[in-house]
Structure 1
Amino acid sequence: MTDTGSSARLRKRWCGPLLALLLGATPLLGGAQQEKAATEPSARIDPQAQRILRQMSDFLAAQREFSVRTEGTLDEVLDSGQKVQLQRAGDVRLQRPNRLRVDRTGDLAKLHLFYDGRQLTLHGERANAYATTPAPSTVDAMVDMASQRLGLEPPGSDLLLSNPYAALTEDVCSGSYLGRSMVDGVPVHHLAFRNSDGVDWELWVEDGPRPLPRKYVITSRDLPGVPQYSVSLSDWNLSPRLTPDQFQFTPPRDAVRVSFLAPDSQGGAQQGGSK
């Protein structure tokens, strides 16, 4: 991936128009290949927090395939200033280097994402409509393309990339180790970080031989109402025996094909999709 700024944008913006399904959104786009922020002298990161974050990232990146259940909430600030929470839950299946599937249901939509190494497809089950576009040959490159060309930018996707540590530490200016706690009955380490771009985020990492992320919270402190995105990750399966057909999309009967909406250079929207 070439865009080293996309990870920061992910944690600063809320869900894009269609890809709000990843990692409870969880989570697709963004990332960086350069490990810069956490190693700069100006970044004040507790060594224990940095060590645990790197252990989690290296362990996750080493998994050839996995599946995980996500349950999360996304704050929405109404015009009145009142803050409400939207619920969502999903199942994520990843097979490196070039397959991803997300099935998500929530307050606003029931969505499915398919990426098979050649095409990216989003299917809205309630509307029985889908959009398909050619995609690059790796998950990282596909995520970058979706961000740049389609404007699909849900938070939390850094955890799916081939180098989570580089993506997560971009723009970090401080980090703390807050001690041990429990998430869904699992002992975890609680980490907290602050970015220079107006974003705070927390991560709860499983204690033990499987340093998996168990909870992820993103706070946009510079947005009205200081909204949060929170997702819990459970039912990790590191040997799910995934098959190619699970990542291929077959349109349901009477499904309508539509185009992606992509942002134009003026920040509006234009028709996108396969060409």
Structure 2
Amino acid sequence: MIRWNTNNALSTAAFCLLLGLIPQAETLAAEAEAKSLLKAMSDYLASQKAISFAYDSNLEVVTKDHQKLLLASSGKIELGRPDKLRATRFGGFANVEMVFDGKTVTLVGKDINLYTQVDLPGTVEHLVDAMRDKLGKPVPGADLLLPDAYDKLMEGVTDVKDLGSGVIGGVECDHLAFRAKDVDWQIWIAQGETPHPCRYVITASQVDQGPQYSIQISDWKTGVDVVAEDYSFVNKTDARKVDLTDLADIDELPDHLATGDDK
């Protein structure tokens, strides 16, 4: 017969507590690894003076009658730190080019042969903030262009997961998932010496049916491999200059589509 005493009870309790802590320790280790991978990507991006890539984006829209629609676009980004950017986007509703030379941002509606210009002297970071907050024309993949991408991406994050590996466009990637108050987001980061983003997906978790915005990146180039045109605007097509308010339907979401309500 086994006789239990206080020491037996304490040992059993300690063992059970240890079993409970092992999964928690593994979770914390996975979170730390995911954050480390994201930080490595951010540091790599910040260290590049010149970046270019092609992208395909998908924007889901939930209509007022709860139908989910998918709007697809493609484009190219050329970045020269600290204050040069050229971005194109060609979709079903607009063919748009944006050029920033460090002083002025120019938006061109290619199909309608109209353009507008806004004085925005400063860095690319300043441009990204102003385009989103003041002009309502966000730059595709803007979160990934900032030198402090890690800090911006981690704002408000409450849950972190390392989901192992995945393959995007033939590139093996680390797959990470994050949760914040209003959005869930995932990112696939290329493994190896050039940890660049390959896919970035944002889910509006508090909106009916959780619509997503995704951007998939290809043809990644940095440094001397980036051959960008001059970042100043040249009006080669004799486009007519208009006010920003007159340059309608140049967004990924056209004016005639409405988003769904919050949950």
Normalising by structure 2, what TM-score?
A: 0.78
State which of 42, 47, 72 in structure 2 corresponds to 1:62.
47
Normalising by structure 1, what TM-score?
A: 0.75
Q: What is aligned with 2:196?
A: 212
The answer on 1:79 being equivalent to 2:64 is yes
* Conserved 8 A contact 2:185-2:200: yes
* Conserved 8 A contact 2:95-2:110: yes
Q: What is aligned with 1:136?
A: 121
Select the structure that is richer in helix.
2
Larger-Rg structure? 2
State which of 193, 214, 239 in structure 1 corresponds to 2:178.
193
Provide the rounded CA distance (Å) in 2 between the counterparts of 1:155 and 1:135.
18
**Partner secondary structure for residue 152 of structure 1:** coil
Deviation at 1:176, TM superposition (A): 0.5
Shift of the 148–44 alpha-carbon distance from structure 1 to 2, 3 Å rule, reads farther
The answer on 1:248 being equivalent to 2:235 is no
* Conserved 8 A contact 1:69-1:233: yes
Deviation at 1:225, TM superposition (A): 2.3
**Counterpart mapping for 1:1-275 below 5 A:** 46-153=31-138, 156-196=141-181, 198-239=182-223, 240-242=225-227, 245-261=229-245
The one-letter code of the counterpart of 1:153 is P
Provide the rounded CA distance (Å) in 2 between the counterparts of 1:247 and 1:94.
9
**Partner secondary structure for residue 247 of structure 1:** coil
Provide the rounded CA distance (Å) in 1 between the counterparts of 2:66 and 2:122.
43
Deviation at 1:45, TM superposition (A): 7.6
Q: Deviations over 1:221-258 (max 9, x none)?
A: 11122100111101101133445x53111224341212
* Conserved 8 A contact 2:132-2:139: no
The one-letter code of the counterpart of 1:72 is S
Provide the rounded CA distance (Å) in 2 between the counterparts of 1:113 and 1:168.
24
* Conserved 8 A contact 1:45-1:174: no
Deviation at 1:44, TM superposition (A): 11
Deviation at 1:103, TM superposition (A): 1.3
Provide the rounded CA distance (Å) in 1 between the counterparts of 2:158 and 2:139.
22
**Partner secondary structure for residue 219 of structure 1:** strand
* Conserved 8 A contact 2:55-2:76: yes
Q: Deviations over 1:27-82 (max 9, x none)?
A: xxxxxxxxxxxxxxxx9980010000000000011000010010121101122211
* Conserved 8 A contact 1:122-1:130: yes
Q: Deviations over 1:249-273 (max 9, x none)?
A: 12243412121249xxxxxxxxxxx
Give 5+ residue unaligned stretches, structure 2.
Answer: 1-27, 247-263
Give 5+ residue unaligned stretches, structure 1.
Answer: 1-42, 263-275
Q: Deviations over 1:71-127 (max 9, x none)?
A: 121101122211011110011000000000011101110000000011001101111
**Matched-pair identity in %:** 36
Deviation at 1:145, TM superposition (A): 2.3
Shift of the 255–44 alpha-carbon distance from structure 1 to 2, 3 Å rule, reads farther
